[in-house]
Amino acid sequence: MKILVAVKRVVDYAVKIRLKPDKSGVETSNVKMSMNPFCEIALEEALRIKESGRASEVVAVSVGQAQCTDTLRTGLAMGADRAIHVEYPGTLYPLSVAKIFKALVDAERPALLLLGKQAIDDDCNQTGQMIAGLLKWPQATFASKVVLDEGNKVATVDREVDGGLETLSLDLPAVITTDLRLNQPRYATLPNIMKAKSKVIKKLTPLDLNVEIRSDLEVVQVTEPPKRQAGVILSSVDQLIDRLKNESRVI
């Protein structure tokens, strides 16, 4: 069984986001970039499935600028067998990425496609769902546990929903998007980082996959949220109730 994993290059989670002076988007030049944390979890899950003997190959895929190869090298150092980079220098929205993945799935024929539940840069939480829609595959989003049956025919997935946990049973092939509590991703060791340097990253363009990048969305402006006012420390519960009643008028 082959597993395809989507790994997106995003601004590192520890970096304080700055906006471009012209408010056209988030500043990414001279900023530390890393693999999206939810994609690390998706890759870790794929590697664990392979290590349990259930999968024969894990393929990491990234779509975007030339520097996505750094993200793919990290994926290879974590343990992915192969990597595919679909290079596109411009802005990408989830539907375009989903169309690229649909074309890749048609070519690679994996039994499982794993993605992060969302990318921490655009917070869209759309790509996995759109791919499942385009492929007409079953999907389980926000997975916190994934169990495959003996014959790799069915995946049982616990997913985190508002009221608690929901358990779904999906026929493979399927799309699964990963939540934070699914696993703790491994660090790439130095020997594996060195070995990953010699692994091949296959290069494609959207055109090679017959995908035209076009968007019906235009970002008009990106602005910071208004600054929060400083809080006050009150001396008693009575004072708090009084403020909530008479000042904020929320009770």
Q: What residue ranges bind ligand AMP (CB under 6 A)?
A: 6-8, 36, 38-39, 42, 62-64, 92, 94, 97, 115-116, 118-119, 122, 124-128
Minimum separation from the CB atom of position 90 to ligand AMP (A)? 11
Minimum separation from the CB atom of position 39 to ligand AMP (A)? 4
% helix / strand / coil in the chain, to the nearest 5?
Answer: 30, 25, 45
Residue 124 tokens read as 């869209």
Cα gap 58→78, rounded to integer Å: 11
Give the residue with the Cβ less far from ligand AMP, 217 or 230.
217
Report how far apart, in Å, the C-alpha atoms of 43 and of each of 39, 169, 180 are: 6, 21, 13
Minimum separation from the CB atom of position 35 to ligand AMP (A)? 9
Minimum separation from the CB atom of position 6 to ligand AMP (A)? 3
SS3 category, 202? strand
List the beta bridge partners of residue 129.
none
Cα gap 14→37, rounded to integer Å: 11
Give the residue with the Cβ less far from ligand AMP, 91 or 248.
91
Give the residue with the Cβ less far from ligand AMP, 41 or 148.
41
Report which residue's Cβ sits closest to ligand AMP. 116
Cα gap 18→26, rounded to integer Å: 6
Give the residue with the Cβ less far from ligand AMP, 28 or 62.
62
Cα gap 174→188, rounded to integer Å: 27
Give the residue with the Cβ less far from ligand AMP, 79 or 116.
116
Minimum separation from the CB atom of position 208 to ligand AMP (A)? 16
List the beta bridge partners of residue 26.
19
Place of tokens 């392979």: 50
Minimum separation from the CB atom of position 82 to ligand AMP (A)? 15
CA angle 21, 22, 23 (to 5 degrees): 90
Give the residue with the Cβ less far from ligand AMP, 91 or 243.
91
